[in-house]
Amino acid sequence: MRWFTRNPVTLAVCWLAIGNSVSAMAAEHVIIIARMQFGTVPALRVGDVITWRNDDIFRHTATARDKSFDIDLPPKSERSMTVKQAGEAEFYCSFHPMMVGRLDVHP
């Protein structure tokens, strides 16, 4: 055990392996907004990154009903967010309230 803790190279390799395995578990997803609709919402886990991409000609938002996120999306833009907690989050466009969706986030 002393060799393991005294050998800085071994310790650094183990530290990198742990960090890489944690970051490898996070996934990146894109939710596309087009024709006044939110696209398919994928299965999500805490730590995943969602990129909201507005392919529409109108300004939209992705706004959580519980106010946990509010993303402004001018036409032809995109913004990213990291999912921080498990649970359900209903969202809508504050400019077009008929545009709705739901995130289902697993631990």
Domain boundaries, the chain: 26-106
Residue range 26-106 forms a domain whose CATH class is mainly beta
- The pLDDT of residue 20 is 47
Instruction: Kindly report whether the global pTM for this prediction surpasses the value 0.85.
Output: no
pLDDT in tens, 52-98: 999 999 999 999 999 999 999 999 999 999 999 999 999 999 999 99
- The pLDDT of residue 7 is 54
Task: Extract the tokens encoding 41.
Answer: 């919402």
- The residue among 54, 9, 13, 63 whose CA lies nearest residue 35 is 54
- The residue among 21, 1, 22 whose CA lies nearest residue 11 is 1
- The pLDDT of residue 72 is 99
